[in-house]
Amino acid sequence: MMRSGVVGVVLLSIACALAAPARAEYPDRPTNAIVGFPAGGLADVVLRAVVEGMKKKFPKGLAVVNRSGAGGTIGATEIISARPDGYTFGLVAAANLIIQPQLTDLPYRTPDDYVPFINLVSWSPLLAVRQDAPWKTVQEFVNAARATPGKFRVGSPVRGQEAISRSKS
């Protein structure tokens, strides 16, 4: 199983802000922490916990902004396209940085286009069924799915991830 992580691509862009003339009053305006998934999901909960711990350092305000859609790509694109002034950072799934740029025309393609800051969470997708399901192993489930095409549904939060997972079976 491919180990996928929610990579905390916390694009504070502080390096860029420090490269500009020094501003002793940073931050002098509100800062946005963008997450590319809906409120209440894993990425949102993790980012909100991080932001809560950072609030003392951001007296002008630090807000979590949910920019969900396209499996997290909308949020990732907004973070990566933001001015590198230290006022926008966010949490991005690894698949948004690695897989999506290979499948879709995005304003970013490689690690040269963004600054990964810290890996906050490691996440491994899994297959789950009800306890009373007739399948007791993954192979039994796969065999049943192959025997009845179109009967089973599979969900994934990120486009492309399921294709990689399926190719391993």
* pLDDT tens by residue, 58-114: 999 999 999 999 889 999 999 999 999 999 999 998 888 988 888 889 999 888 898
Distance CA 131, CA 1 (A): 22
- The fold of 4-123 is D-Maltodextrin-Binding Protein; domain 2 (3.40.190)
Sequence-separated (6 or more) residues with CB below 8 Å from residue 122: 3, 5, 6
Instruction: Provide the whole-model pTM.
Output: 0.65
Q: What is the CA radius of gyration of the chain?
A: 19
Ordered by start, the domain boundaries in the chain are 4-123
Q: Are 63 and 30 in contact (CB under 8 A)?
A: yes
Report the DSSP beta bridge partners of residue 31: 62
